[in-house]
Amino acid sequence: MRRGSWKIRILLGLAIVAFAFFKKCNNQQENPYTGRVQNIDMTTKDEIVIGLSSAPQMIQQHGGQHPNARYQAFVDAVGKKLVENSIARDTPYKYEFHLLADDRTINAFALPGGQIFITYALFSQLENEDQLAGVLGHEIGHVLGRHSAERIAESNFWKTISMGASVGADAGNIVNSVGQNVLLKNGRGDELESDELGVLFMIRAGYNPEEMIGVMEILKAAAGPNRVPEFQSSHPDPDNRIQKIKEAIEKYKRKKRTS
């Protein structure tokens, strides 16, 4: 390849990288609910639309809604209690809680904008209402933390950086690998932030936050002895989460005593 062509490729690659950083800087905004500065390129209205449009597909993938109306009403009541006694009440998000029929996958998750799901496989493992509150509080934390919106923006940022590196220096694979590691690390941070928010929401709603530790034990048992090492997973190790939950409990109980 001619020398001039290499110069053009390098300049083009640098321009793409510069554009990615410029866009990221312009997307920086402080989360009004957590105080954390995030890279987000969508509005709360966009999040709500994405969540509502994606919810039917999520429900279908997990065997539909659970047919027991009493169980669903129980989930709704606990979710509503958490929202009404926390900052979640004052947000534009439209919270809906779904008990899924899936009796094999032990999981709970949230879509942007307030759509929150728990599988029957996890629901049936929970020992009391407080543990259910811990699960739902954690998922409300994901919504307030705007974690999905942040991950989408960060993923787009790294895709653009990788494209620039490929054009300028055939280094796209290396940059992509770095980006994946950063996204995994950030994902673990999201889980810890949601755990802490979940503890706060439980305390505000009158639930026992110690029961969230029991939820972690359930998840740890479900993962079994061959669970993925933390550095390869978007979720922190359950033992690390338990330690952070204990620290959050002490933090908010101390604040309550001094307030």
Tens digit of each residue's pLDDT (9 = 90 or more) over 184-232: 444 678 889 999 999 999 999 999 999 999 999 998 888 766 554 433 4
What mean pLDDT do residues 45-66 have?
A: 94
SS3 helix, strand, coil % of the chain, rounded to 5? 70, 10, 25
Choose between 14 and 238: higher pLDDT: 238
pLDDT reported for residue 247: 95
> Among 186, 248, 188, 200, which residue's Cα sits nearest to residue 88?
200
Q: Mind spelling out the 3-state secondary structure of 73-130?
A: HHHHHHHHHHHHCCHHHHCCCCCEEEEECCCCCCCEEECCCCEEEEEHHHHCCCCCHH
pTM summary value: 0.78
Q: Quick one: tokens of 174?
A: 């290396």
Q: What are phi and psi of 23, to 5 degrees?
A: -65, -40
The span from the first CA to the last CA of the chain, in angstroms, equals 70
State the greatest distance between any 2 C-alpha atoms of the chain, in Å, as a whole number.
72
Q: Is the alpha carbon torsion for 162, 165, 166, 167 positive or negative?
A: positive
For residues 118 and 107, give the distance between their C-alpha atoms in angstroms, rounded to a whole number.
Answer: 6
If you count them, how many residues does the chain have?
Answer: 259
77-95 residue pLDDT tens: 999 999 999 999 999 999 9
| Mean pLDDT over the full length of the chain | 81
155 contacts 3 by C-beta, under 8 angstroms: no
pLDDT reported for residue 258: 65
Burial readout 241-252 (b: 16 or more C-beta within 10 A, e: otherwise): bbebbeebbeeb
